[in-house]
Amino acid sequence: MFYLFTHNDLDGVGCGILAKLAFKDQVRIRYNSVGGLDFQVERFLERAKNDDFIIVTDLSVSEKNTEKLNEFYKNSSKVKLIDHHKTALHFNEYDWGLVQVEYDNGRLTAATSLFYEYLIKNKQLEPTSSIEQFVELVRQYDTWEWEKNNNEAAKRLNDLFFMISIDDFEERMVQRLQQSDSFSFDEFETKILDMEENKIERYVRRKRREMVQTFIDGKCVGIVHAESYHSELGNELGKENPHLDYIAILNVGSKKMSFRTIQEDIDVSEVAGQFGGGGHAKASGCPLTEHAYQLFVAEPFQIEPMRPDAFRNQYNLKAAEKGCLYQNHYEDYIFVYPIKEDLWNIDRNGKAIARSFQSFSEAEFYIKRYHSAWLARDEQYIEYLSDTLIRTIKEQQLLGRKNDETLEIDHRFISYDPVIHPTGQEERPFSH
Ligand SMILES: [Mn+2]
């Protein structure tokens, strides 16, 4: 009998599906969390028979179990551990360890892809194009390569995995891969995936209006409270707000928070590390400690959420040659305009700020990051332009009055229109 101990995420269950395809009813599979594996392996080793073959995929065993597995291997040669995590590379010291982080061409491996190649090499599984497609979707999802390649099917496979039970998922996939020439979702799966996608979209749209931005520890952070869809939320908010260093997603109920970034130079595992958490450079998490609560919940509580940029404008358009207007909660009017090619200025409440920018996006980055402003609606833009125009005319008139001689008077108008004198008195220069 084969015994497979594997992770309970998509990559781990991918290995389970391959094992079912290869060994049929000659395999027992246990899906484990990272913390639950060692107990299961230990229990197995207490009862194992000599002809049992134990395979561990996508997870590492403890030092103690490593010793025990090595003993078991010496007697039977029936042990294999296959993993793709850097932290597991030391298992390669053993004959039964197979740990590889990336392929020769630089692409990242997944446990499912390594296990697939292992089974084929051992002639325990016939390669087919549907299995190959499935394995590649799992690999792309597990390594985040799907994002770069915009591989929606990989993302949807993982969504489906979380929408139905592991048993149901395993059964569906095994059947599909045995019967179909190429991998695709069936009608039912497509339907529930579409529904889920709409639901996520609505959720993200709502959350977008709740995000506040502030500086914490010198980093510009977007903060949002959410219970679910952290990946989608972090991703969308990050892409929409490139002026933010990272997004913090808080769940006060479970006293946890997670961090996401799309910035090359930001490592959010460092941020999580400060509060006793960890993770990857682009996605991490930590407990919501009292200190973190102060910084991320209590202090930003007064801040009004950022508003999204106006999106139905005809006149106030980003990067317009005639300039465009931004607004914030402090009632600042921020006007961005080019003064020549590759040189943009910003006026804040009618005063030019002390520096200029080499591109519109650089100027916008500054406005959003340091003034928490959004693109104003057309109505505000027109009001701003007309106010500015009137003020300019008035200023010129005041100036003109001071140098009366230089002012050219058009008698046709003046004879009809009363003129307001700078003293405030109305005067009619020509009485008839
Ligand atoms: Mn994995």
Inside any domain, residue 202: no
Is residue 418 over pLDDT 60? no
Ligand 1 centre from 352 Cα, in Å?
A: 53
Inside any domain, residue 344: yes
For residue 76, give the DSSP letter: H
**How sure is the predictor about 408, in pLDDT bands with cuts at 50, 70 and 90?**
low
Is residue 430 over pLDDT 50? no
- Give the tens place of pLDDT for each residue, 133-173: 999 999 999 998 998 888 999 999 999 999 999 999 999 99
Residue type, 188: F
Ligand 1 centre from 109 Cα, in Å?
A: 8
Ligand 1 centre from 260 Cα, in Å?
A: 19
Inside any domain, residue 412: no
**How sure is the predictor about 412, in pLDDT bands with cuts at 50, 70 and 90?**
very low
Q: Where are the alpha helices (DSSP H) in 209-312?
A: 230-240, 268-273, 290-293
Ligand 1 centre from 143 Cα, in Å?
A: 8
Alpha-carbon span 292 to 261, nearest angstrom: 18
Same domain, 317 and 298: no
Owning domain of residue 114:
2-185
Q: What are the start-end ranges of the E strands in 244-327?
A: 246-251, 256-260, 278-279, 283-287, 324-327
Ligand 1 centre from 116 Cα, in Å?
A: 13
Inside any domain, residue 125: yes
Is residue 178 over pLDDT 70? yes
Is residue 424 over pLDDT 50? no
Which of 308, 332, 331, 333 shows the shortest CA–CA distance to 323?
333
Number of residues written out for the chain: 432
**How sure is the predictor about 397, in pLDDT bands with cuts at 50, 70 and 90?**
confident
Is residue 417 over pLDDT 90? no
- Which of the two residues, 150 and 406, has the higher pLDDT score? 150
Averaged pLDDT, 295-310: 95
**How sure is the predictor about 427, in pLDDT bands with cuts at 50, 70 and 90?**
very low
Inside any domain, residue 345: yes
Domain CATH code at residue 213:
3.10.310
State the pLDDT at residue 420: 45
Alpha-carbon span 408 to 249, nearest angstrom: 64
Is residue 41 over pLDDT 70? yes
- Which of the two residues, 97 and 399, has the higher pLDDT score? 97
What's the number of domains the chain is made of? Answer: 3
Judged on CB neighbours under 10 Å (0-12, 13-18, 19+), 289 is middle
Same domain, 268 and 359: no
Same domain, 229 and 351: no
Averaged pLDDT, 188-205: 95
Averaged pLDDT, 57-84: 94
Alpha-carbon span 324 to 342, nearest angstrom: 16
**How sure is the predictor about 398, in pLDDT bands with cuts at 50, 70 and 90?**
confident
- Give the tens place of pLDDT for each residue, 262-291: 999 999 999 999 999 988 888 899 999 999
Inside any domain, residue 413: no
Inside any domain, residue 262: yes
Same domain, 212 and 144: no
Averaged pLDDT, 198-212: 94
Q: Which of 281, 302, 323 is the last residue of a domain?
A: 302
Q: Which of 302, 320, 344 is the last residue of a domain?
A: 302
Same domain, 324 and 295: no
Same domain, 11 and 138: yes
Q: Which of 302, 321, 338 is the last residue of a domain?
A: 302
Domain CATH code at residue 25:
3.40.50
Question: In this prediction, what percent of the chain has a pLDDT beyond 70?
Answer: 93
Same domain, 18 and 142: yes
Return phi, psi of residue 242, to 5°. Answer: -65, -10
Same domain, 145 and 289: no
- Which of the two residues, 272 and 411, has the higher pLDDT score? 272
Please check whether residue 80 is in contact with residue 98, taking contact to mean a CB–CB distance below 8 angstroms: yes
Same domain, 21 and 138: yes
State the pLDDT at residue 231: 87
Q: Residue 130 contacts by C-beta under 8 Å, 6 or more apart in sequence?
A: 176, 177, 180, 181, 182, 183
Same domain, 129 and 47: yes
Ligand 1 centre from 59 Cα, in Å?
A: 8
Alpha-carbon span 185 to 131, nearest angstrom: 13
Mean of all residue pLDDT scores within the chain? 91
Same domain, 32 and 148: yes
pTM, to two decimals: 0.71
Ligand 1 centre from 205 Cα, in Å?
A: 31
**How sure is the predictor about 415, in pLDDT bands with cuts at 50, 70 and 90?**
very low
Inside any domain, residue 409: no
Please check whether residue 284 is in contact with residue 277, taking contact to mean a CB–CB distance below 8 angstroms: yes
Ligand 1 centre from 98 Cα, in Å?
A: 14
Same domain, 177 and 231: no
Which residues lie at CB < 5 A from ion ligand 1? 11, 58, 111, 142
Is residue 426 over pLDDT 60? no
